[in-house]
Chains A and B, each alone.
Chain A
Amino acid sequence: MKEQNVMDLIILGGGPAGMTAAIYAARANLRAVILEESVTGGLVNSTYVVENFPSYPGINGVELMQKMRDHVDSLNVSVEEVCEIERMELEGEHKVVETDEAVYTARAVILATGRKPIPLDVPTACEQVHHCAICDGGPYKGKKVLVVGGGNSAFDESLYMLSIGIESIVLTEVMDRFFAAQATQDELLRTGKVDARTRTRVVDLVVENNELKAAVLEHCDSGARETVACDGVFVFLGQNPNNESFRDVVALTEKGYVIVDRHMATNVPGVFSAGDINDKPYRQITTAMADGTIAALAAERYVRS
């Protein structure tokens, strides 16, 4: 028989939105639990240096999220990590979330499930395709890698990889410009070790004896193809929303993001949503925290009504 837990608030997701919501909920004397499928911190954990979080000119993503987690823990909020959701009932006055370890019931739920990396869509499978430079960059010291994507993650992680000794990088972006902060773009391109190409897509990988040898690149306008040698591929193409567990119940946009009002309320009474999973124009740590704050305050009002 699984442990039965009656709470005031269940928070699905332990990234910056979920943890901020938990802090506000706890300070409002709500019994709250964070249910996280991985570990707390979300996508910020994969960021080597965060330079746009007010208070820190530069801080490692894991370190920043550990500080946030320490704050959550100091308020005695329950956190279940590596948690598999087996059943969820969001409609009705009492919401139920059953994990592999326990059953939680509460009058309010905050969805803060965030997003997951978009995979590289090529016909050839390959073990040398990665999404985390800190985890998987080590074996490529002295070698050449392909970075797919032109946003902040691609540029930041490229800087990290050069710092640990990757010899050179080919960086590709399908649009006609890069989207990373200009300062970061300038810093990376100044190294002289990066061949950065816009209007370029990766169409296939060349693999021999289970080892990556090259990538086939195609110019988006001319269609011209070029095979470039590389030993590894790091993919930073953005993310897809994690909405599998509630997409049949909660109103979503065509792209799968949660529709909320200014109180972070969804179409389901007692269900709120915060962070990157929401439909909104800008997804940053600070905007996630703002959403989490509002969702928690609105959830408190709902629970006490």
Chain B
Amino acid sequence: MFVELNDANFEAMVAGTASGVLICYKKRCPHCMNMEKVLEKFAAKNADVKLFKLDSEENPKALAAFDSERAPTILVIKSGAVAARKAGLMNPKEMKAFFEAA
């Protein structure tokens, strides 16, 4: 369900995405695991939204570009650009509102 991004491809992937959500995670971050499930539920109801994930600890260039030291950091992508950014966990209702407001 998630396309994995890295330092080599994140800029091109974001630029080529009309509607998407990117989660910047850390491998052993429990809130990140929770947030991935929230995003899966969100995507199940929003078929046109692409899901991306990026390991912040393995990709320092992307970590700096997205300011994603905190995990999870969620970015909404619209029309090829980051439209909104938020660090921390959200429940499904909050995620829906966050995406719609972006």
- Give me the interface of A with B, judged by CB distance under 8 Å: 38-39, 41, 45-46, 48, 60-63, 81-82, 84, 100, 132, 134-136, 138-139
Contacts of B28 in A (CB 8 A): 48, 60-63, 134
Min CB distance A214 to B, Å, is 21
Residues of A within 8 A of B56 (CB): 138
Which residues of chain B have C-beta atoms less than 8 A from A62's C-beta? 27-28, 30, 33
Pick out which of these stretches binds chain A: B1-9, B34-42, B47-55, B74-82: B34-42
Asked if A41 and B30 make an inter-chain contact with CB atoms under 8 angstroms apart, the answer reads yes
B70 in the interface (beta carbon within 8 A): yes
Interface centre among A38, A48, A63, A132 (most CB of B within 10 A): A38
Residues of A within 8 A of B29 (CB): 132, 134-135
Chain B residues within 8 Å of A, Cβ to Cβ: 26-34, 37-38, 41, 56, 69-72, 91-92
Selected A-B contacts with CB under 8 Å, 27 pairs: A39-B33, A39-B37, A41-B30, A45-B30, A61-B28, A61-B30, A62-B28, A82-B34, A82-B37, A82-B38, A82-B41, A82-B91, A82-B92, A132-B31, A134-B26, A134-B28, A134-B30, A135-B29, A135-B31, A135-B70, A136-B70, A136-B71, A138-B56, A138-B70, A138-B71, A139-B69, A139-B70
**Docked pose: A59 CA to B34 CA in angstroms:** 20
Which residues of chain B have C-beta atoms less than 8 A from A132's C-beta?
29-31
A59 to B87, alpha carbons, bound, how many Å? 27
Q: How many A-B residue pairs have CB under 8 A?
A: 54
Complex alpha-carbon distance, A39 and B26, angstroms: 16
Of all chain A residues, the one with the shortest Cβ separation from B57 is A138
Nearest residue (CB) in B for A45 is B30
A82 to B30, CA, bound (A): 13
Given the interface pairs A134-B26, A134-B28, the reply to whether A39 lies near B70 with Cβ below 8 Å is no
Residue of B nearest to A48 (CB): B28
Closest 3 CB pairs of A and B: A45-B30, A138-B69, A139-B69
For B31, the chain A residues whose CB sits under 8 A away are 132, 135
CA distance A135 to B30 in the complex (A): 7
Interface contact A45-B33, CB-CB below 8 Å: yes
Q: How far is the CB of A23 from chain B (nearest CB, A)?
A: 20
Cβ–Cβ < 8 Å partners of B27 in chain A? 62
Minimum distance in angstroms from B81 CB to a CB of chain A:
24
Give the distance in Å from the alpha carbon of A138 to the alpha carbon of B69 in the complex. 6
Query: Which residues from A are CB-within-8-Å of B26?
Result: 134-135, 138
- Measured between C-beta atoms, what is the minimum distance from A3 to chain B in Å? 13
Interface centre among B31, B69, B92 (most CB of A within 10 A): B31
- Which chain B residue has the least Cβ–Cβ distance from A65? B30
Chain A, residue nearest B39 (CB):
A82
Identity of the chain B residue whose Cβ is nearest the Cβ of A131 in the assembled complex: B31
User: How far does the Cβ of B25 sit from chain A's closest Cβ, in whole Å?
Assistant: 10
A182–B38 Cα distance when bound, in Å, is 39
B-chain residues with CB within 8 Å of residue A61 when the two chains form the complex: 28, 30
Q: Give A62's nearest chain B residue, CB to CB.
A: B28
Closest to B93 in A: A84
Residues of A within 8 A of B41 (CB): 82
Chain A min CB distance to B2 (Å): 15
Nearest to B32 among chain A residues (CB) is: A135
A84: B residues at CB distance < 8 A: 91-92
